[in-house]
Amino acid sequence: MGEVLAGGLLRAGWQAADLVLLARREERRHQVAEATGIAATLDPVEAVRGRAVLVVAVKPADVPVLISQIEGAVRQDQIVLSLAAGIPTSRFEESLAGVPVVRAMPNTPAQIDQAITALCGGVHADEASLAAAEKVLSAVGGTIRLDEYLLDAVTAVSGTGPAYVFLMAEALTEAAIREGLPRHAAERLVRHTIRGAGMLLTAVDEGPEHLRAQVTSPGGTTAAAVHVLEERGFRALVEDAVRAAAARSREMGRG
């Protein structure tokens, strides 16, 4: 996600010379510098020095080590912008006294600048800190401010959400093939159906219920399909999946 955000920043017009990347292995340092054209270092203190915004994009389990590597070097006029799922702002504040911390949850459509990222500020994050974080995050898509207690739910909905859609795409493709469509046609039909439906959903004011009603005539084919999905508990299944992801996010936050 760090590399994706770096790519987005460059596409949005940031200069490579104004950015620096941190890696923990030489092989990765080399690879990420080659891929992005941004200078990369293995030295956490060097990466932190003089930077306005410090983006933390390590796995949640690696956060404590990273904090211990930078805690002596981070200043109160810098902003820590953490993307780590489940890790509360307070975890950073415990070690980085007085430093503004912003916690954010993007999603993988960031790769094509189509992310939606929810963000919240910790106790020392003021309007300027949130605005600076939004400026960075908006390089890869839209942003929405929410209270921190909602971030686990966000992780379960939009952070994890692309996986639900991809699973749906897999299932629909397999079903299409079983109905006799050649694989290449099935894949194209499914990709474009999901793209078109997603674009329609974001382009109009009406909600999904209305859009679904538009394609559902009484006694028709969509009605037959939706009846099966409803009868077999589609909504309850989605609700259970989201609840499990939110619970896992809370668990990761407790470390």
The residues of the shown chain that bind ligand NAP, judged by CB under 6 A, are: 1, 22-25, 28, 57-60, 62, 65-66, 69, 83-85, 105-108, 159
Q: How far apart are CA 46 and CA 70, in angstroms?
A: 9
For the purposes of burial, counting CB atoms within 10 Å of the CB of 5, is it exposed (0-12), middle (13-18) or buried (19 or more)?
buried
Length of the chain as a residue count:
255
Q: Closest CB to ligand NAP among 92 and 186? A: 92
Q: What are phi and psi of 181, to 5 degrees?
A: -75, 140
Closer to ligand NAP at the Cβ: 157 or 176? 157
What is the H or E stretch that residue 117 is in? strand 115-121
Q: Which is nearer to ligand NAP, 55 or 176 (CB)?
A: 55
**Residue 69 or residue 95: which is nearer to ligand NAP going by CB?**
69
Nearest CB to ligand NAP, comparing residues 65 and 238 = 65
CA-based nearest residue to 155, from 57, 65, 244: 244
Q: How far is the CB of 25 from ligand NAP (least distance, A)?
A: 5
Q: Rounded distance, CA 165 to CA 167, Å?
A: 5
Q: What residue number has its CB nearest to ligand NAP?
A: 85
69 is written with which tokens? 């590597």
- Token match 């990273």: residue? 66
Q: By C-beta, is 83 or 186 nearer to ligand NAP?
A: 83
User: 75-110 burial, b if ≥16 CB within 10 A, otherwise e?
Assistant: eeebbbbbbbbbbbbebbbeebeebbbbbbbbbbbb
For residues 33 and 1, give the distance between their C-alpha atoms in angstroms, rounded to a whole number.
15
Least Å from the CB of residue 92 to ligand NAP? 13
